[in-house]
Amino acid sequence: ALGNPVECKAKCAVMPEFELPDYKKIAASIKQQASSKKEEVEASEKEVDDVLLQIRKNKAHIEWHKNNPEADHHDHPDLEKEESLPELTDELAKEAGNFKDVEELKAKIKENIIEEKKQREADKTRAKMMEAILKDTTIELPEVLVEAEINKSIAQLKDDVARMGGSWEDYLSHTKKTEDDLRKDMHNSSAERAKIQLIFNKIAIAEKIEPNQEIMEQEVKVIKEHYKDASEQSARIYVATILINQAVLKLLESQ
């Protein structure tokens, strides 16, 4: 959900005044804590084997549907059995991603697992930085900003439900909640996200951070291609926010 220019003007008119804490000092402290607890990231043999098993299952599933084109379901319990799965061969490795052999495939899987673990740890550290900065920041948040954040979350949820082929009414029936119930459930987390975004924006102003124009133009073009009814201004606000947030997080990580 990209929002709209009218909503943006309303939000900009009520932006609260607040003082930032020493965000660089806070970020450096969190980073130091994370570094002191840091352990060497590894990928276990079982983790690699689990991925290899899934590759074999995927291959068996694809082959089954090739041989049974009339079938329109994906529930194949027999394909879970070892004897139903294709052998792990160099040929299968080539099909899985043009790897030279099984050993090269295993090496790539191991590398990916390690990178994913590192990224998860980095994400945790970033979240802790923002939580700590938020804790030391006093913001009197206008309800209109919280409502705007809730509206964005509801719109995104509706998009997700529609993309999966469901209806909003069926989703509400399944969760046994009304839309008002969902909005109430989202209130506290939405308020926190709104505050964090205000902090991102103020740090960006303080540090004179601007979105990369070349990347921005590329991303806006992609959005316009996928969302034909999205306004140019809304798309630019959306992309600029993401790029600025990323730049602020990099700044905090560099402390």
At 36-61, the pLDDT tens digits run 888 889 999 999 999 999 999 999 98
How would residue 71 be classed by pLDDT, with cut points 50, 70 and 90? confident
Q: Identify the pLDDT of residue 14.
A: 64
**pLDDT band for position 2 (cuts 50, 70, 90):** very low
How confident is the model at residue 5, as a pLDDT? 38
Task: Note the Cα 250 to chain centre separation in Å.
Answer: 17
CA torsion 12-1-129-208 (nearest 10°) is: -50
Confidence at residue 7, expressed as pLDDT on a 0 to 100 scale: 43
Contact 224, 235 (CB under 8 A): yes
pLDDT > 60? residue 6: no
Give residue 98's region: left, alpha or beta (phi > 0; psi -120 to 50).
left
Q: What is the pLDDT of residues 153-174, one digit of tens each?
A: 999 999 999 989 999 999 999 9
pLDDT at res. 94 = 94
Concatenate the DSSP letters of all residues of 109-166 into one string. Answer: HHHHHHHHHHHHHHHHHHHHHHHHHHHT------HHHHHHHHHHHHHHHHHHHHHTT-
- Let me know: does 253 contact 245? Beta carbons within 8 Å: no
Give the span between the Cα atoms of 204 and 193, in whole angstroms: 16
Q: What percent of the chain has pLDDT over 70?
A: 93
Give 105: exposed, middle or buried? Use CB within 10 Å, 0-12, 13-18, 19+.
Answer: buried
